[in-house]
Amino acid sequence: MFFRPGPWLLQGLAQVQQALPSQCGICGRWPSQRVCGDCTARWAGTQPRCRRCALPLPAGAAECGACLRAPPAFDAAWAAVDYGYPWSLLLAQLKFQQDPGAAYALAQLLARVPGVSAALASARWIVPVPLSDQRLRERGFNQAALLARALAGNCAPLPQAPDCAHLLVRARHTPAQSGLQRDRRLRNLRGAFEVPAWQTARLAGQRVVLVDDIMTTGATLDAAAQALRRAGASHICAMVVARTQRLPRQ
């Protein structure tokens, strides 16, 4: 029988890997952290972004045109880096190779973004974007849940803002979003997320941080935020490791 490690075991392995000397996943330097300081400085520079959807913007702009015309269901968004080399490699290792060390390193990258610590500190819940039961069985873990736990417990210890993987659930399985335009993504995700009735009281009037690994069009985070909003969440921040440079609503 093939053994799939559970999320708490993967998180424990991530902590062990972080404590031990390792090879930088980008430059290969040894001994080092999973991502060394030089590579962080080189590849994770500060980038002006839309405060609503984290899309890269020219300096001085606060919001992109798409968010001014039709704001997403979440109130603010942060991204650590643009999606591309070398972060796409680490994200692939996290998502498809069950690399828990990458989860901790990428969460640390996100935690250093200006504004993220304050948003985490003011939140009541840190909620990962859930996978469907079918996708969870196939993959064996939810990469967004690993990132959320690293943010909540290791990168920024927040006793008042624990991660919670059960406040938001995937109500139905949907085909993969990759390769779909935004309008197809929105149809694909209609009714995909919900808050169980017995959890709504925990969300009413609360501030929530919604965590995922990558934002492309923003359709997944928007659908998840709509479900949280229907349950009564008062303020929702989206946090992702990487943001693509494509317009969010094209």
**Structural domain includes residue 30:** no
**Structural domain includes residue 110:** yes
Contact 65, 55 (CB under 8 A): no
**Structural domain includes residue 62:** yes
- pLDDT 10s digits, 134-164: 888 888 889 999 899 889 875 555 545 666 7
**Structural domain includes residue 219:** yes
- pLDDT 10s digits, 163-187: 677 899 988 656 555 555 555 655 6
Of 175, 249, 165, the residue nearest 208 (C-alpha): 165
**Structural domain includes residue 116:** yes
- pLDDT 10s digits, 179-217: 555 556 556 666 789 999 999 999 999 999 999 999 998
- pLDDT 10s digits, 60-110: 889 999 999 999 999 999 999 999 999 999 998 888 877 777 888 899 999
The boundaries of the domain holding residue 130 are 47-243
* Cα distances (angstroms) measured from residue 241 to each of 19, 79, 98, 208: 22, 5, 17, 17
**Structural domain includes residue 29:** no
Q: Which residues contact 168 (CB under 8 A, 6 or more apart)?
A: 127, 129, 130, 193, 194, 195, 210, 224, 227, 228
**Structural domain includes residue 14:** no
For residue 106, give the CATH number of its domain.
3.40.50
| Domain count for the chain | 1
Tell me the whole-structure pTM to 2 decimals. 0.83
**Structural domain includes residue 13:** no
Would you tell me the crossing angle of helices 182-189 and 219-230 to the nearest 10 degrees?
40
